[in-house]
């Protein structure tokens, strides 16, 4: 993997795990992830799929668990006999585990064979900044493998580069950053444009799709938690953004910060939305 901090001019004091993952893995990001979880709850359709009641002996997997906030919230709403497992390639964000909870450092791609047909529910959220197109296929194949027959897969994603958007009046700083982010995804091998293909990829992996929902996240207005956490996420991409040199007018740390400030101002004073995407799929019996 290339050294992402080789150029001292690009150093931001943030810790990054992998070349293809655009967000940092540090304490600042842990706090942001926990705030983000709360901000996105109105759009998520609940922690578990409608009609699924987890009971003692069931096992749940959170793939790409990050700070583990989704599992921590789920633990408050299920019996203590439900086994909760989180997996992530970086363990520094893991919280202290509750008695029925375990966190594993590892890749979703390489889940051990002893977990085959184990999970009643698998959850994955916001890996749009982490997986290549091939990575999405490998992840879906692995998650299908470890689900029980009849088990549920709940997938949540953000259309971060506005692939689904038909808006013609995108504000200038927002437009500049979005275009640069698309280029960054291409240069880093990140499948940011995968959203329109997810349904077919799920089906190719063997899943049966039960529900597919798209909701608009309104980012305008002051004191908007979704706006704040998303802007902070984009600010966290500074190091890979600068290292990849994807925007002429944001090639230094100061210019990048200025672009983020302008974009945040556009969102706070206008009516701008992002699309939140939810899939509920099942492994056939």
In a domain, 1, yes or no: no
Exposed/middle/buried for residue 270 (C-beta within 10 Å: 0-12, 13-18, 19+): middle
In a domain, 155, yes or no: yes
In a domain, 2, yes or no: no
pTM recorded for the entire structure: 0.91
Q: What is the pLDDT along the chain (285 residues), one digit of tens a residue?
A: 333 333 333 345 667 776 566 787 788 999 999 999 999 999 999 999 999 999 999 999 999 999 999 999 999 999 999 999 999 999 999 999 999 999 999 999 999 999 999 999 999 999 998 899 999 999 999 999 999 999 999 999 999 999 998 877 889 999 999 999 999 999 988 988 999 999 999 999 999 999 999 999 998 887 899 999 999 999 999 988 898 899 888 999 999 999 999 999 999 888 889 999 999 999 999
Q: Are 275 and 158 in contact (CB under 8 A)?
A: yes
Query: Tokens for 174?
Result: 């927002």
Q: How many domains does the chain have?
A: 1
Query: Tokens for 134?
Result: 């091939």
> Across the beta sheet with 119-125, what order do the strands follow?
101-105, 83-88, 59-63, 119-125, 147-158, 273-282, 208-218
Instruction: Round to whole Å and give the CA distance between 74 and 98.
Output: 12
In a domain, 237, yes or no: yes
In a domain, 58, yes or no: yes
Q: Are 55 and 121 in contact (CB under 8 A)?
A: no
CATH number of the domain residue 143 falls in: 3.40.50.150
Q: Which range of residues forms the domain containing residue 89?
A: 8-282
């Amino acid at each position: 993997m290339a050294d992402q901090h080789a150029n001292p001019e690009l150093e931001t004091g943030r810790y990054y795990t992998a070349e293809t993952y655009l967000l940092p893995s540090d304490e600042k990001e842990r706090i942001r992830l926990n705030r983000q979880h709360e901000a996105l709850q109105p759009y998520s359709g609940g922690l578990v799929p409608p009609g699924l009641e987890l009971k003692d002996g069931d096992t749940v997997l959170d793939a790409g668990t990050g700070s583990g906030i989704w599992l921590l919230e789920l633990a408050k709403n299920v019996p203590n006999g439900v086994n909760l497992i989180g997996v992530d390639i970086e363990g520094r964000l893991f919280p202290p585990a509750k008695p029925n909870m375990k966190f594993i450092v590892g890749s979703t791609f390489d889940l051990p064979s002893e977990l085959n047909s184990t999970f009643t529910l698998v959850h994955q959220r916001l890996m749009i900044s982490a997986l290549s197109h091939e990575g999405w296929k490998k992840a879906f194949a692995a998650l299908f493998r470890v689900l029980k027959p009849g088990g549920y897969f709940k997938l949540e994603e953000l259309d971060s580069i506005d692939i689904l958007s038909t808006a013609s009046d995108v504000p200038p700083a927002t437009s500049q950053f979005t275009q640069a982010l698309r280029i960054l995804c291409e240069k880093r091998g990140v499948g940011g444009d995968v959203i329109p293909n997810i349904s077919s990829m799920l089906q190719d992996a063997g899943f049966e799709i039960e529900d597919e929902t798209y909701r608009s996240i309104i980012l305008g207005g002051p004191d908007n938690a979704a706006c704040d956490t998303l802007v902070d996420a984009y600010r966290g991409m500074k190091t890979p953004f600068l290292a990849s040199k994807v925007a002429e007018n944001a090639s230094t740390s100061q210019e990048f910060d200025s672009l983020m400030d302008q974009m945040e101002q556009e969102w706070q004073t206008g009516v701008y939305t992002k699309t939140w995407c939810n899939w509920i799929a099942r492994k056939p019996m």
